[in-house]
Amino acid sequence: MQSLQLPPKSEILFSAVTMEGMVQIVRHHDLIPVPVDLDLRSLAPKLEALEHAITPRTKMIVVAHLFGSRFPLDPILDVARKNNLILVEDCAQAYVGPDDTGDPRADVSLFSFGPVKTATALGGALLRVRDSKVRDQMRSLQAGYPVQTAWSYPVIKVAIIKGLSTRPIYSCFLWLCRAIGCDYDRIANRSTLCYRGPDFVRRIRRQPAAPLLAVLQRQLRRFTPRTVAARTAKGALLRELLGDQIDCPGRGQTQHSRWLFPVLVDDPDRWIDALRRRGFDATRGGSLCVVGPPAERSDLAPVEARDLLSRVFFLPCYPEITDAALHRLAGVFHVGTAPLPSCAHVNRPKLRVAQP
């Protein structure tokens, strides 16, 4: 944004579900974020919403590939070219390995190596920028930033999270949280989110510390495609076991590496509770947000994106989970095959599939 020097109040289109920080950066530069509603089947921005949102002040479109899925950029590229817009693709959730450098036709492709991402380096990012002039400017701006202190590199915090995630310790942690009545989903999500305070922009204007670069280099060199392949296979199995009755956002997308396994239901909290009681740790997540429309443009309200975030939750599905566990997990959703535990304050969720 600093390199581009767009006129103040220029409009930046966002596929309507993104990371809060992305919108914050745009606002910081006195630019106006404008949402483009999503199609929940493909998780891509809707073309008609995109065309409708464009004004003479629109300069850029930022699209996020969500949950490990990828939608083809072609139709969006056409619109971007026709209207002279810069196209940025956010591949933070869709990364599948060092050969993945994004769509070469996009002006910018963004990859994150933050704490919960595939091939995490506990922080840092890689950017592919097509325009060499912009890229050079970005490099020289970054060269003027202070170097992140090795101290602020969150090794200790991640070690604690990692330690917590071993089974016996995590069980104790859950028990303790229940005993004192706090919401461990919130704690877990908060602890993995970085940089949200008022000095957000100052804190992201850093050059990476040497330990971060070393870890990132190691992650890229030793990347094992097998892990992503295993994750994709487990995801495909779970998708098949759940059947058509359970609605998954992005279900129409063939390219899906299953970074997360999202499902849409009417009452996510009740489902999460029911799953926890059977030993499955599902979560609502917490870091995504819906981009709101600017004042006077309520016609751009991203209805489907809001619906997505109010009804989505995430099932545990990862390379190490056994097929038997996935069968049991899917069974929880199928009344008749595996009844939910009865319990005074948890009503048995209906086996009803959400409307897209």
Task: Give CA–CA dist 24/251, Å, rounded.
Answer: 30
> What number of chain residues touch ligand PLP (CB under 6 A)?
13
Provide the Cα torsion 269, 274, 280, 282; round to 10°. -10
Q: In angstroms, give the least distance from the CB of 189 to ligand PLP.
A: 13
Nearer to ligand PLP, 19 or 305 (CB): 19
| φ, ψ for residue 252, nearest 5 deg | -85, 0
Task: Give CA–CA dist 195/16, Å, rounded.
Answer: 21
Which of the ranges 74-82, 86-94, 179-187, 300-308 carries the binding residues for ligand PLP, by CB under 6 A? 86-94
Task: Give CA–CA dist 76/51, Å, rounded.
Answer: 10
User: What is the helix, strand, coil percentage profile of the chain, to 5?
Assistant: 40, 15, 45
Alpha helices for the chain (secondary structure H): 20-28, 47-53, 74-82, 132-143, 155-164, 167-180, 184-192, 200-204, 210-221, 225-242, 268-277, 303-311, 323-333
Nearer to ligand PLP, 121 or 274 (CB): 121
Q: Does 92 bind ligand PLP (CB under 6 A)?
A: yes
| φ, ψ for residue 343, nearest 5 deg | -165, 140
Nearer to ligand PLP, 259 or 333 (CB): 259
Q: In angstroms, give the least distance from the CB of 264 to ligand PLP.
A: 18
Q: Are 225 and 97 in contact (CB under 8 A)?
A: yes
Which of the ranges 51-59, 85-93, 100-108, 146-154 carries the binding residues for ligand PLP, by CB under 6 A? 85-93
- First-residue to last-residue Cα distance in the chain: 35
Q: In angstroms, give the least distance from the CB of 258 to ligand PLP.
A: 14
Nearer to ligand PLP, 58 or 112 (CB): 112
The helix or strand, by DSSP H or E, that contains position 143, with its residue range, turns out to be helix 132-143
Q: Does 148 bind ligand PLP (CB under 6 A)?
A: no
CB atoms closer than 10 angstroms to residue 285: 18
Q: In angstroms, give the least distance from the CB of 234 to ligand PLP.
A: 20
The helix or strand, by DSSP H or E, that contains position 335, with its residue range, turns out to be none
Nearer to ligand PLP, 49 or 92 (CB): 92
Q: In angstroms, give the least distance from the CB of 176 to ligand PLP.
A: 28
The helix or strand, by DSSP H or E, that contains position 168, with its residue range, turns out to be helix 167-180
> Between 176 and 215, how does the x/- string for binding to ligand PLP read (CB under 6 A)?
------------------x---------------------
Q: Does 93 bind ligand PLP (CB under 6 A)?
A: yes
Footprint of ligand PLP on residues 13-32 (CB under 6 A)? 18-19, 21-22
The closest of 52, 58, 106 to 302, measured between CA atoms, is 52
> Between 40 and 69, how does the x/- string for binding to ligand PLP read (CB under 6 A)?
------------------------x-----
Q: In angstroms, give the least distance from the CB of 167 to ligand PLP.
A: 26
SS3 4: coil
Task: Give CA–CA dist 190/284, Å, rounded.
Answer: 12
Q: In angstroms, give the least distance from the CB of 113 to ligand PLP.
A: 7
Q: In angstroms, give the least distance from the CB of 65 to ligand PLP.
A: 8
What does the binding site for ligand PLP look like in residue numbers (CB under 6 A)?
18-19, 21-22, 64, 90, 92-93, 112, 114, 117, 125, 194
